[in-house]
């Protein structure tokens, strides 16, 4: 697929883009490196002022940016506008807190003075996915720029106008030229970029193959990399839970972003004899969802971002059925233009079948029945991923076991998994490594320099 805006609701190609030539790419790299040498000298106060301005631009143009996201990747407009607001939040969060996060850290030793100083690394390459086309970029860029790094963005090929809009926002906010640039390049040109000495580190949010490819290139060059990859998060419901609240949240947690979220609840694990009632509630809620034009305010589910994802859903559901799953609701694509797939609930999936361990990146949920806490934890952990987990119980001893024993980057009790600028975000196992957001996120791309003075 080339670099293009293709409306996923209609299949219409609206705009195509030529990838950067090698010469143009070199010019951008040179500009980024020159920008870094000056930008690293700017104060936190200056960077904070620019980032606050970026937040203002985001808020004042949130409908315009929201429409751009919806046009390019199909998320419902109200969710797209909320995403722009969240980007303003992360900008303000780091604009207000970065100086404290990166202040010299005094450590008493037998030196007359010893402390840690945090310094920027240089150019950081960010490889980003289309599913949250603004949020994924801003949650990288806000801390990275506040730390004094400069950013180069290789965004997904289906959201080029979002990528260019983000570059424009940083420029309009007052960041010096070259501090944040978009590279319209193909995925195949990412790994070779890691050989360039001027690029000091990289971050990638996306699939396992893409993450592994970048990590190999970074490893070969001894460069830092942060990976935010896939997941198949469990959503575990115990008998003590408020079933209606759990089911309503389950719907949101699975269907957010037309089902295309890394931290979506993808496997519902229901404990004990509440399973039938919970399943019934999910079925009713799935059936009530309104599919359609994502630009309309009453649409709950829009199209999948690309025809390839639609094909993945068809193929995965067919494989699930072949491996023993029962389709309780949905299960098929919607005929006609656009990449629409019905909200789908699968049950009776044998837990030892490969499909039980796969990620469905669309509006398809799997529901499993288990008899007790031990079985729930074992099933929750029985996947290669470890991104997030949501568990619903009011029993403190069950809560503690879940916090301790679930293998994931986060455990949310009586809440859906969500990202929040104040809290670290990331995964374990094949969901990746490193953290974004909070103080942990800004520390990923700094040199933690030890100073000793006798």
The residues annotated with a catalytic role in the active site are: 228, 262
Distance CA 413, CA 235 (A): 10
By CB under 6 A, residue 214 contacts ligand NAP? yes
Site for ligand NAP contains 434 (CB under 6 A): no
Of 105-113, 151-159, 335-343, 390-398: span binding ligand NAP (CB under 6 A): 151-159
What would the x/- binding string for ligand NAP be over residues 255 to 284, using CB under 6 A?
Answer: -------x----------------------
In the complex with ligand NAP, the residue whose CB is nearer, 157 or 393, is 157
316 binds ligand NAP (CB under 6 A): no
Of positions 230, 259, 343, 421, contacts ligand NAP by CB under 6 A: 230
The Cβ of residue 152 has, within 10 Å, a number of other Cβ atoms equal to 24
Q: How far is the CB of 23 from ligand NAP (least distance, A)?
A: 20
CB of 265 to ligand NAP, least distance (A): 13
Residue 64 tokens read as: 């315009």
The answer to the question of residue 386 lying near ligand NAP (CB under 6 A) is: no
* Contacts for 320-327: CB closer than 8 Å, 24+ residues apart: 320/346, 320/349, 320/355, 320/366, 323/349, 323/350, 323/353, 323/354, 323/355, 324/348, 324/349, 324/350, 324/353, 325/349, 325/355, 325/366
Question: Do 113 and 162 contact (CB within 8 A), yes or no?
Answer: no
**Interaction with ligand NAP in 187-206: which residues (CB under 6 A)?**
187, 190-191, 205-206
Which of 210, 215, 329, 345 touches ligand NAP (CB under 6 A)? 210
Distance CA 289, CA 255 (A): 9
Measured in whole angstroms, the distance separating CA 69 from the mean position of its chain's CA atoms is 15
Residue 285 backbone dihedrals phi, psi, to 5 degrees: -70, -40
The H or E element that residue 207 is part of is none
Q: Is 182 helix (H, G, I), strand (E, B) or coil?
A: strand
Q: Considering only 209-217, 278-286, 294-302, 350-358, which stretch makes contact with ligand NAP by CB under 6 A?
A: 209-217
Scan residues 29-68 and list those touching ligand NAP (CB under 6 A). Answer: none
Rank residues 279 and 359 by Cβ distance to ligand NAP and give the closer one. Answer: 359
Q: Which tokens hold the place of 286?
A: 């799935």
Q: Which one of 178, 231, 330, 362 is in contact with ligand NAP (CB under 6 A)?
A: 231
Q: How far is the CB of 389 from ligand NAP (least distance, A)?
A: 14
Per CB under 6 A, 356 contacts ligand NAP: no
In DSSP terms, which residues pair with 344 in a beta bridge? 364
Report the phi/psi class of residue 194: left, alpha or beta, with left for phi > 0 and alpha for psi in -120 to 50.
Answer: alpha
Q: Does 157 bind ligand NAP (CB under 6 A)?
A: yes
156 binds ligand NAP (CB under 6 A): yes
Strands 233-237 and 265-271: parallel
- Minimum distance, C-beta of residue 111 to ligand NAP, in the bound complex (Å): 40
150 binds ligand NAP, rule: CB under 6 A: no
Shortest Å distance, C-beta 126 to ligand NAP: 9
Site for ligand NAP in 123-142 (CB under 6 A): 127-131
> CA triplet 418, 305, 87: central angle to 5 degrees?
40
Classify residue 206 as exposed, middle or buried by CB count within 10 Å of its CB (0-12, 13-18, 19+): buried
Quick one: 225 or 250, whose CB is closer to ligand NAP?
Answer: 225
CB of 257 to ligand NAP, least distance (A): 9
With CB under 6 A as the rule, give the number of residues binding ligand NAP.
29
Q: Can residue 325 be called a binding residue for ligand NAP (CB under 6 A)?
A: no
Identify whether the C-beta of residue 161 lies closer than 8 Å to the C-beta of residue 72: yes
Contacts 24+ apart (CB under 8 A), 319-324: 319/355, 320/346, 320/349, 320/355, 320/366, 323/349, 323/350, 323/353, 323/354, 323/355, 324/348, 324/349, 324/350, 324/353
Interface residues with ligand NAP (CB under 6 A) are: 127-131, 154-157, 186-187, 190-191, 205-207, 209-210, 213-214, 228-231, 262, 359, 361, 387, 427
């Amino acid at each position: 697929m080339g670099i293009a805006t293709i409306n996923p609701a209609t299949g219409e190609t609206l705009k195509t883009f030529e990838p950067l030539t090698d010469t143009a790419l070199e010019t951008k790299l040179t500009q980024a490196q020159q920008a870094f040498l000056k930008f690293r000298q700017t104060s936190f106060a200056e960077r904070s002022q620019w980032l606050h301005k970026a937040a203002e631009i985001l808020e004042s143009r949130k409908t315009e940016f929201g429409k751009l996201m919806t046009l390019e990747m199909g998320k419902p407009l109200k969710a797209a506008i909320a995403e722009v607001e969240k980007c303003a939040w992360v900008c303000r969060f780091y604009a207000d807190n970065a100086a404290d996060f990166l202040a010299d850290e005094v450590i008493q030793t037998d030196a007359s003075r010893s402390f840690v100083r945090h310094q920027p690394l240089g150019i950081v390459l960010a490889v980003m996915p289309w599913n949250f086309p603004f949020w994924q970029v801003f949650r990288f860029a806000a801390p990275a720029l506040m730390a004094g790094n400069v950013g180069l963005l290789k965004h997904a090929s289906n959201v080029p106008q979002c990528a260019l809009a983000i570059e424009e926002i940083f420029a309009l906010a007052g960041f010096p030229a070259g501090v944040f640039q978009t590279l319209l390049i193909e995925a195949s040109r990412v790994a070779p970029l890691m050989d360039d000495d001027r690029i000091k580190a990289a971050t990638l949010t996306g699939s396992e193959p893409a993450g592994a490819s970048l990590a190999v290139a970074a490893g070969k060059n001894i460069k830092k990399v942060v990976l935010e990859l896939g997941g198949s998060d469990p959503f575990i419901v115990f008998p003590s839970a408020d079933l209606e609240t759990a089911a309503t949240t389950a719907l949101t947690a699975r269907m957010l972003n037309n089902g295309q979220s890394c931290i979506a609840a993808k496997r519902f694990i229901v404990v004990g004899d509440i399973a039938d009632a919970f399943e019934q509630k999910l079925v009713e809620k799935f059936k009530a969802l309104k599919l359609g034009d994502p630009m309309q305010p009453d649409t709950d589910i829009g199209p999948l971002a690309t025809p390839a994802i639609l094909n993945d859903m068809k193929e995965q559901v067919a494989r699930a059925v072949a491996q023993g799953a029962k389709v309780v609701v949905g299960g098929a694509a919607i005929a006609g233009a656009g990449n629409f797939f019905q909200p789908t609930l699968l049950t009776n999936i044998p837990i030892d079948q490969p499909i039980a361990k796969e990620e469905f990146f669309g509006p398809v949920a799997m529901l499993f029945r288990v008899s007790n806490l031990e079985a729930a934890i074992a099933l929750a952990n029985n996947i290669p991923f470890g991104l997030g987990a949501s568990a619903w119980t009011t029993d403190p001893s069950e809560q503690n076991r879940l916090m301790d024993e679930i293998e994931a980057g986060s455990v949310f009790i009586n809440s859906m998994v969500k990202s929040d600028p104040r809290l670290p975000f990331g995964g374990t196992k094949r969901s990746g490594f490193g953290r974004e957001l909070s103080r942990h996120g800004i520390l990923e791309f700094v040199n933690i320099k030890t100073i000793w003075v006798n």
